[in-house]
Amino acid sequence: MSEAVTEYLQDNKDQLFKKLSDFLKIESISTDPSKKDEMEEAVSFLTDYLTEIGFNKVERKETGGHPLVYAEYTQAGDAPTALFYGHYDVQPADPYELWETEPFQPTIRNGKIYARGASDDKGQVFMHLAVFEAMMKTEGKLPMNVKVVIEGEEEIGSEHLGAFLSENQELLEADFSLISDSGMVDKGVPTILYGLKGFTGLELTVKGPNRDLHSGLYGGAVKNPAMALSQLLAAMKNTDEVVTVPGFYDDVENLSEEERKIMNAAPGEDFPSTTGVPETAPEKGYTAKEHTMARPTLEVNGIFGGYQGEGTKTIIPSSATAKLTCRLVPGQDPQKIQDALVDFIEANTPKGVTVDIKREALSAKAYKVDPKHPLLIKAAESYTSAFEAETVFVRLGGSIPVVETIDSLFGIPVVLLGFGTPEDNLHSPNESFPLEHFSKGMDALALFYRDVKNVM
Amino acid sequence: MSEAVTEYLQDNKDQLFKKLSDFLKIESISTDPSKKDEMEEAVSFLTDYLTEIGFNKVERKETGGHPLVYAEYTQAGDAPTALFYGHYDVQPADPYELWETEPFQPTIRNGKIYARGASDDKGQVFMHLAVFEAMMKTEGKLPMNVKVVIEGEEEIGSEHLGAFLSENQELLEADFSLISDSGMVDKGVPTILYGLKGFTGLELTVKGPNRDLHSGLYGGAVKNPAMALSQLLAAMKNTDEVVTVPGFYDDVENLSEEERKIMNAAPGEDFPSTTGVPETAPEKGYTAKEHTMARPTLEVNGIFGGYQGEGTKTIIPSSATAKLTCRLVPGQDPQKIQDALVDFIEANTPKGVTVDIKREALSAKAYKVDPKHPLLIKAAESYTSAFEAETVFVRLGGSIPVVETIDSLFGIPVVLLGFGTPEDNLHSPNESFPLEHFSKGMDALALFYRDVKNVM
C-alpha cells in the first residue's frame, strides 16, 4: 500500500501545496477578537477537506469559544482506532516588520515554506489529512479507524477543549492518540517526545496614582508603579536563575542521573548560535538542555507601563503590567503554582501601590509516558525508515495541554510525532517548515498508519 | 498706572481669552517629530503677537532644533532690564482617551480652562504678553526694558537653548530674569520658588535573543530580557526608597533642621487624596514634602518589552526597554550622576543579555537663591496684594534647566513667579489652569513691573 500512497503524494505535490497554502493564508489568530471570521474560514476549510477525503462524519462543534472540527472514519472494522488531535489557530504575527515575506502569504525559499502556522500547527495537521487523502484515493480506505479533533484555542490555552473531550468520552473512544504539534531536535533527526511540560500563567498590574504624574512634582512622594513591578518581578528569581516563590519547587520530580545523561547526549541546539544570545542562562546546577527539558520555568512574556514614545516624558506612570507564564514539570499542580505566585505577589507588593491580578484560564499539568511503549517503538521505526536516520527520544520544554487532558480522561497512550525543526521560528517572525520534512514526514505517517494494527 | 492696566485686562477679557485659545489650539509637541509644522505655527503666533504689542525688535531664531522667539523692548531708558523666559512647546497629550475634552480644544468648565499647555507653559507665557499689551495700550510704554526668549524645546531638555544664551550674552544682558513656569503650593496661595531640582536621564534597552522566542522551547536556556531589565531596575533602589547606585548621594547638600521645618510647615498637597495612592512612599528618614522638595529622585518614566496585546503570547521577548530620569539637588553634577547610572548598569547586567544605553541630551544642575533677595521680596508683595494672601517661599521637585543656565551664564537673580496649582495635571490628561489665577496673576505681574525699578 505504502508505495502507491507515496507515489500519489509525489504526483500531486503541486496541488497539495496549493491546498496547504490556502489553509495557511487564513489569519486564524485565536487571541485576536477581531479575527472571528477568519477562525470560521479555517473551520470551513477543514470540514470541506475532511468531507472531500471521505470521512463518514464531519462536524463543526460549538464550544463556547472558538468552534472545533470533529470528524470520524469508522469503516476499518477491527483495526485500532486513533484519536487524532491538532489545532487550526495560530499565534499573532506581530512584530510584522520583522517578517521577510508576509506572514499570511505562504512563500517558498531555501527549501522551506514561510508562513505563520507553517509548522505550528496547520502545516503538521495538513500532513495527516494529505496522507488520509492519498490512502483513500489509492486504496479506497484507511488501514485504521480515525477520530479527528482539531481545535481553535490551542494558542490561548484550550479553554473549552477539556469540556468537549470530557463531555464526549463515548464518542471519542479510541485505542491511542496521535498528535503532530512538535518538532525534531534537529533537522532530519526523527524525534519522539515522551514528556511535555505543564503550564500556568497570570497577568499582573501594579496600580499607583490615578493618572500619570509629573516626576518632578511627585517624585519622592508617590511610589513608582514601574519600579514596584520591577521589584516584584526581580524578587521572583535570584541571580542563579532559581525561582524564589515559596512552594514553586515543592512537588518537582527529581531528575535522575540516567535521564540527565540521555538529555545531554541527545543532539540539540547550540543556543547562542541559533538565538544570538551571548551565553545561556540556565538554573544553577543544570545544563541549558536539562533546564529546558525537565526543570520548571517562570518567564515574563510582556511588560509595559508609562511612556513608550520618542524622546523623554518625565512622568511617574499610573500603572505597569507584566504578563507571566510558567512551564511546569511532572509533579507540579498548575493551580497550586498559580496560587503560589498570587500569594507571593500579594505578600511582596511594595507599599504605596496596589496590585490587580488576572488569572489566565489556561493551565495544564506536565505529561510523561514510557519511552519503551510498543506504539512509540513502532512510530520510531516508521520515522527511521522514512528519514533514514536513528530516532531519538526526548522530553520537551513546551506544553501541549491536550496531552495531559487525553491522558487523564482516556488513559490511552499519546504518540507525539513531531516534524518541525529548531529553525522553524515558532511564535516568532518568519515561521517556516522544511519542504523535505513534509514529504518524508508524510511517508513516515503512511508507514505508521499501515502497521499500527500489528502492535495494538 | 496699574488701575488702567487692570481695567484694560478686565474690559478685554473675552478677546484675550480668544487669543489664548488660539495659542493653546496649536499642537506644539516638541518630542513628536511629526509636529514640525505646529511648532512653526506657535512661533508665528508669538512673533505676530509681540509685534502687535509694540516690541521694537521681534525675531524667529534658528537653534539647530526647534526655533526660538526673541523680542526686545528697550525704550524704558534707565529702568532695569528684565530677561523674560518661557516656552511654547508642550508635553504629548497621550493617553488621549483619558481627556474629558480634547487636549487641543481649550474648554472652560468649573472656573478652569482645560487644554494641554494651559498651565505649562503657554498659559503663563500668555499672561506676561497680555500685561505687556495692556500697558502699551493704556500707557503707550512699559515701565522697564524687556528681553523676551521663548523656546520650543523645554519639554525635551532644552538642548539648543544653552548655546543660544551662551552665544548671545551681550544681546541678552539684563538686570534680572523673570520666569513663570511653575505653580503655587495650593490654589490661591502665592508662592515664590527659591530652589529647583536638576535633571538627568537615560534610556536603557536590555537585549537578549535576536527574535522573540517560544517560552517552552527556550525557557531555561535563554535569559529573559524583561526579567533582566526588572532585576537591573530593582537593584537601583532598596525597599527604603534609597537609591543604591554608588555615588548617587555623594555630593548631596545636607538638609538643615531649619529648612526641614520651613518645608513641612508650608501648605502642600495631601498626596493620597490628590493622586489616589494608598500611601506616600518617600525615602526613609524624610517626609514626602522633604523628598519632593530637597532629595534627589530616580524614576522609571516608561517600561516596555514583549507582548502587550490581548490574551497570552508565550514568548521570551527579544528585548526590553526602560526610560529613566533623575531629579537632582544642589551639589549634584548631572553628568556625574548619569555616569554613575551607566557604570551601575554595566556592572550589574545579568549574564546572557547585553545592554544598550542612550544618554539623553537633557541635563541640568539644581538651583537655589537667597529667599531674602529684594527682588523676591518685591515679587512677594505684588503677589500678596493681588491674591490677598500671604506669600510662601518653597523649593520645588521640578526642574527648569534654564534657571541654572541663566544663573551660571549671567549671574543675575532669577525671579520665579508661578501661577499654576497642584490640580493643574501638568504632563497628565486634563491639564487645566484656574481662570481666577489668570486675572489675579496678571494683576500681580502689573504691580511687580510697575515697582521693580524701585528695588534695582
CA B227, B232, B234, B240: dihedral to nearest 10 degrees?
Answer: 170
Q: What integer is the mean pLDDT of B419-443? A: 93
Interchain contact A244–B (C-beta under 8 A):
no
Residue B144 and residue B49 share a domain: yes
B427 touches chain A (CB under 8 A): yes
Q: Looking at the partner chain, which of B239, B301, B312 has a beta carbon nearest the beta carbon of A215? A: B301
Contacts of A302 in chain B (CB under 8 A): 226, 305-308, 313, 315, 317
Residue of A34, A218, A274, A291 to mutate, testing the B interface (most B Cβ within 10 Å of its Cβ): A218
- Whether residue B424 is contained in a domain is answered as yes
Tell whether B84 and B14 lie within a shared domain: yes
- Contact between B327 and A215 using a beta-carbon 8 Å cutoff: yes
Is B269 among the domain residues? Answer: no
The DSSP element (H or E) to which B263 belongs, if any, is helix B257-265
Is residue B274 a part of any domain in this protein?
no
The strands making up A145-151's β-sheet, listed across from edge to edge, are A57-61, A68-73, A145-151, A81-87, A176-179, A414-416
Q: Which pLDDT does position B153 carry in this prediction?
A: 95
Name the minimum distance, in Å, from the CA of B88 to any CA of chain A: 16
Is A294 exposed, middle or buried, given 0-12, 13-18 or 19+ CB atoms closer than 10 A? buried
Phi-psi region of B188 (alpha: psi -120 to 50; beta: other; left: phi over 0): left
pLDDT digits (tens, 9 = 90+) for B11-56: 999 999 999 999 999 999 999 999 999 999 999 999 999 999 999 9
Would you say residue A217 lies in a domain? yes
SS (H, E, C) A304-361: EEECCCCCCCCEECCEEEEEEEEEECCCCCHHHHHHHHHHHHHHHCCCCCEEEEEECC
Closest Cα of chain A to B395: distance in Å?
11
Cell of A333: 499542580
Mapped onto helix, strand or coil, the DSSP state of residue B354 is strand
Contact across the interface for B310 and A32, Cβ inside 8 Å: yes
Nearest residue to A444 via CA among A385, A360, A375, A373: A385
Closest approach of chain B CAs to the CA of A56, in angstroms? 36
Considering only CB atoms, A221 lies closest to which of B201, B208, B282, namely B282
Give which of A204, A222, A354 to mutate to test B binding, by max B Cβ within 10 Å: A222
Round to whole Å and give the CA distance between A315 and A293: 42
Do A420 and A124 contact (CB within 8 A), yes or no?
Answer: yes
Tell me, yes or no, whether B254 and B331 share the same domain.
Answer: yes
Residue B267 or residue B355, greater confidence = B355
Q: Residue A32 is part of a domain; what is its CATH number?
A: 3.40.630.10
Of B359, B377, B393, the last residue of a domain is B359
Residue B307 with chain A: CB contacts under 8 Å: 92, 301-302, 323
Q: Which one of B336, B359, B382 terminates a domain?
A: B359
A292, A307, A352 ranked by CB distance to B280: nearest: A352
**CA distance readout (Å), A343 to A35, A339, A430:** 35, 6, 39
Hey, are the CB atoms on A425 and B211 less than 8 Å from each other?
yes
CATH number for A299: 3.30.70.360
Cβ–Cβ below 8 Å for A309 and B222: no
Same domain membership, residue B370 and residue B355: no
Q: Domain count of chain A?
A: 2
Q: Looking at the partner chain, which of B280, B305, B309 has a beta carbon nearest the beta carbon of A222?
A: B280
A370, A352: one domain = no
What residue numbers bound the domain in which A88 lies?
2-196+366-454
Contacts of A157 in chain B (CB under 8 A): 312
The Cβ of residue A321 has, within 10 Å, a number of other Cβ atoms equal to 20
| Cross-chain residue pair B325–A314, CB shorter than 8 Å | yes
Q: Contacts of residue A346 in chain B, CB cutoff 8 Å?
A: none
Residues of A in contact with B288 (CB under 8 A): 220-221
d(CA B444, CA B190): 10
| A184 and A218 both lie in a single domain | no
Per CB-CB distance under 8 Å, the chain B contacts of A217 are 183, 292, 396-398, 422, 426
Give B-chain residues touching A319 at CB under 8 angstroms: none
In chain B, residues with a C-beta closer than 8 Å to the C-beta of A430 are 211
Query: Average per-residue pLDDT in chain B?
Result: 94
Q: Is residue A319 part of a domain?
A: yes
% of chain B beyond a pLDDT of 90: 80
pLDDT of residue B1: 47
DSSP B58-73: EEEE--SSS-EEEEEE
Residues of B in contact with A310 (CB under 8 A): 31-33
Confidence of residue B267 (pLDDT cuts 50, 70, 90): confident
End-to-end distance of chain B based on CA atoms, in angstroms? 20
Label residue B440 by pLDDT band (50, 70, 90): very high
Q: Using CA atoms, how far apart are residues A70 and B78, in angstroms rounded to an integer?
A: 95
Flag if B310 and A31 touch (Cβ within 8 Å). Answer: yes
Which residues 154-173 of A are in CB contact (within 8 Å) with B? 156-157
Burial of B272: CB neighbours in 10 Å, binned 0-12, 13-18, 19+: middle
Decide if pLDDT at B341 tops 70. Answer: yes
- Please name the member of B226, B277, B325 whose beta carbon is closest to the beta carbon of A303: B226
Distances (CA, A) of B331 to B294, B326, B337, B365: 11, 14, 11, 8
Distance between CA atoms of residues B45 and B53, nearest Å: 12
Same domain membership, residue B437 and residue B405:
yes
**Chain-chain contact of B302 with A226 (C-beta, under 8 angstroms):** yes
Is pLDDT of B359 > 60?
yes
Biggest CA pair distance of chain A: 79
Per DSSP, the three-state class of B241 is coil
In tens digits, chain A (456 residues) has pLDDT values of: 468 999 999 999 999 999 999 999 999 999 999 999 999 999 999 999 999 999 999 999 999 999 999 999 999 999 999 999 999 999 999 889 999 999 999 999 999 999 999 999 999 999 999 999 999 999 999 999 999 999 999 999 888 999 999 999 999 999 999 999 988 988 899 999 888 899 899 999 999 999 999 998 899 999 999 999 999 999 999 999 999 999 999 999 888 898 898 788 878 789 999 999 999 999 999 999 999 999 999 999 999 999 999 888 889 999 999 999 999 998 999 999 999 999 999 999 999 999 999 997 568 889 888 888 999 999 999 999 999 999 988 888 887 778 988 988 999 999 999 999 988 998 899 999 999 999 999 999 999 999 999 888
Last residue of a domain, one of B359, B376, B391: B359
Inter-CA distances, A374 with A367, A371, A378, Å = 18, 9, 6
Of the candidates A31, A303, A311, the beta carbon closest to that of B304 is on A303
Q: Which residue has the cell 531555501?
A: A110
Best mutation target, A313, A327, A351, to test chain B (most B CBs within 10 A): A313
Cβ of residue B94 closer than 8 Å to a chain A Cβ: yes
Same domain, residue pair A352 and A383:
no
Q: Are both B354 and B380 inside the same structural domain? A: no
Residue B280 lies in a domain: no
Mind telling me how many Å the CA of B309 is from chain A's nearest CA?
8
CA pair distance B155, B149, nearest whole angstrom:
15
Q: Is residue B352 part of a domain?
A: yes
Alpha helix segments (H runs only) across A80-211: 122-139, 161-167
Cβ–Cβ < 8 Å for B47, B58: yes
C-beta atoms of B297 and A220 within 8 A: yes
pLDDT score recorded for residue A423: 87
* Domain match, A219 and A159 both: no
For residue A287, tell me if it sits in a domain. Answer: no
Candidates A35, A22, A44, A159; CA nearest to A92 is A35
Set of cell numbers at residue A292: 529546558
Residues B164-192: tens digit of each pLDDT: 999 999 999 999 999 999 889 888 999 99
| Residues B87 and B210 occupy one common structural domain | no
Residue B160 has pLDDT above 80, yes or no: yes
- Which residue of B209, B277, B303 is in closest CB contact with A320? B303
Pairwise CA distance, residues A310 & A87, whole Å: 40
Q: Buried b / exposed e across B41-54, counting CB within 10 Å, b at 16+? A: bbbebbbebbeebb
Q: Are residues A35 and A175 in the same domain?
A: yes
User: If contacts are CB pairs under 8 Å, which of residues 262-281 in chain B contact chain A?
Assistant: 269, 271, 275-281
Q: Which residues contact A345 (CB under 8 A, 6 or more apart)?
A: A204, A232, A355, A357
CB-based contact A312:B228 (threshold 8 Å): no
